[in-house]
Structure 1
Amino acid sequence: MSNNIRITKQFSFETGHALYGYDGKCKNVHGHSYKLSVTVIGQPITDNTNVKFGMVIDFSDLKKIVTEEIVDVFDHATVFNKNTPHVELAKELQDRDHNVLLVDYQPTSEMMVIDFAKKIKTRLPKHINLHSLKLQETESSFAEWFAYENN
């Protein structure tokens, strides 16, 4: 009998961005206190000689992956779509020693979760699957990614 269990760890980071070509306020550089929930799925380890006995994945192992791939990269950075004239603004900020991230997508919450899913999946152990991501941009707005909808 298999017991698939979902494990979720939550993260937070501060990131600035601007949406080039957008028809509202978010075309301006601004920031969010993002909250990211990462849910993985797997079976608890049944080998009672394993130090991780009873765990799907050690929360600290999941924390290390997400911190290295996402939090440390995006926290206190400003994200711009490098395929827009914002690349000039990015260069100016970089020249002034600002932490700038140039991505090849529009840095909306929707596109960020797609990027995050790719990055996290490559780092997970073989027996652990990424189940879902939830990226909360504001108190009332978030984007979600689910593995079963993205085969």
Structure 2
Amino acid sequence: MHLHVGGGHYELTVRDCFDAAHALPGYDGPCQYLHGHTWEVEVTIAGQHLDDVGMLYDFKDAKRDLHGVLENFDHRCLNDVPPFDEINPTAEHLARVVFYELEKTFPAHISLMEVAVWESPAAKVVYRP
């Protein structure tokens, strides 16, 4: 049984991180050369329906789903990992790629709202479709 909350919705956010290198060919600056980051990724999902326990989606499942997508990039050179072997592995592209890969993992009653990617504690990009 799902409990429908009229007029409102819930948002759930989880984070994970991974270490990877990348280079930005065509960029006029030091980032054109191979360098690394500890990338932090935060995702927010939303929905109106809670399960019998009163959860939108279990935090542990959301963390598992996110980790499952990010492990493909961990300790890699992103330029060698599809689709970044064809497009520059910018934070913007990474956020979009993570969004559409992660969206496939959620049940129908869950909407993925946004993916935020930090290259550093002071630099973040957010992707929302």
Q: Structure 2 counterpart of 1:73, which letter?
A: N
CA drift of 1:139 comes to 1.6
Aligned to 2:56: 56
CA drift of 1:44 comes to 4.5
Name the CA distance, whole Å, in 1 between partners of 2:27 and 2:50: 48
| Helix, strand or coil at the partner of 1:123 | coil
Q: Structure 2 counterpart of 1:125, which letter?
A: P
Kept in 2: contact 1:35–1:137 (CA 8 A): yes
Q: Structure 2 counterpart of 1:41, which letter?
A: A
> Of Structure 1 and Structure 2, which has the larger fraction of its residues in helix?
1
Aligned to 2:92: 110
User: Any gaps of 5 or more consecutive residues in structure 1?
Assistant: 81-99
TM-score, length of structure 1 as denominator length: 0.76
Kept in 2: contact 1:3–1:44 (CA 8 A): no
Choose the corresponding residue for 2:103, options 116, 121, 135: 121
User: Any gaps of 5 or more consecutive residues in structure 2?
Assistant: 1-5
CA drift of 1:3 comes to 3.0
| Helix, strand or coil at the partner of 2:27 | coil
Corresponding position: 1:33 with 2:62: no
| Helix, strand or coil at the partner of 2:87 | coil
TM-score, length of structure 2 as denominator length: 0.88
Which deviations, in whole Å up to 9, do the C-alpha atoms of 1:113-139 show, x marking residues without a partner? 111111011111100000111101112
Q: Structure 1 counterpart of 2:12, which letter?
A: I
Residues 94-105 of structure 1 aligned to structure 2 (within 5 Å) = 100-102=80-82, 103=84, 104-105=86-87
Aligned to 1:95: none
Aligned to 2:48: 43
Which of 1 and 2 has greater Rg?
1
Q: Structure 2 counterpart of 1:17, which letter?
A: H
Residues 66-85 of structure 1 aligned to structure 2 (within 5 Å) = 66-70=66-70, 72-80=71-79
Name the CA distance, whole Å, in 2 between partners of 1:44 and 1:129: 11
Choose the corresponding residue for 1:135, options 103, 117, 124: 117
Aligned to 2:26: 21
Kept in 2: contact 1:18–1:26 (CA 8 A): yes
